[in-house]
Amino acid sequence: MIQRYVTPQMVLNDCRTFLQERGREGCEGTGLLAGYKLATHVRVSRFIAPEQRCIKSAFGVSVELTEQAHHTLIDLLLPDERFYARIHSHPRRAYHSEMDDGNGVLTHQGAISIVVPFFARDPILLPHCAIYRLKHGSGWLQLDVAEVTDLFEITYE
């Protein structure tokens, strides 16, 4: 059931622009990668940043979609488009926090979660991110660099 995600670097650049802007406010940013399922792979089409709320507390920062955004996510998609990955930034190191594990935005088998370090100060290179895949019954399992490289094909148009 492993499928490849053909991902334009331009989509990752859009994502970085958004995450960097949020980072300038000291906030984590989050969004989703949408795409189309083709016969042999998924073609990632765009980055979508739904309405979100930045939370700053004594424990650090976090981000979540507003309730409204959570319940209207599907409305953001075009016909045949689906969400395949969620992506969010961290102020420092990239890893899945307990809160990230519990995040219910994407719950389909094989859903991808990408954590971008340092508020996306550098162009997004997926092997430098922490990337997890949801396996029902096991949870979010981190992919190693070789798996990330196999799973994502970056295109430059």
Closer to Zn ion by Cβ: residue 101 or 144: 101
Residues that bind Zn ion (rule: CB under 5 A) add up to a total of 2
Closer to Zn ion by Cβ: residue 45 or 103: 103
Binding string, 10-29, against Zn ion, x = CB under 5 A?
A: --------------------
Residues 67 and 93 sit within 8 Å (Cβ to Cβ): no
Give the nearest distance from C-beta 88 to Zn ion in angstroms: 6
Give the nearest distance from C-beta 81 to Zn ion in angstroms: 25
Residue 30: closest CA among 146, 154, 116: 116
State how far the Cα of 64 lies from the Cα of 27, in Å rounded to an integer: 11
Closer to Zn ion by Cβ: residue 122 or 153: 122
Q: Does the footprint of Zn ion cover residue 100 (CB under 5 A)?
A: yes
Specify the stretch interacting with Zn ion by CB under 5 A; choose among 14-22, 31-39, 89-97, 122-130.
89-97
DSSP letters, 72-123, are: TGGGGPPTTEEEEEEEEE-SS-----HHHHH--S--STT-EEEEESGGG-S-
Beta-ladder partners of 63: 54
Chain residues that interact with Zn ion, rule: CB under 5 A: 97, 100
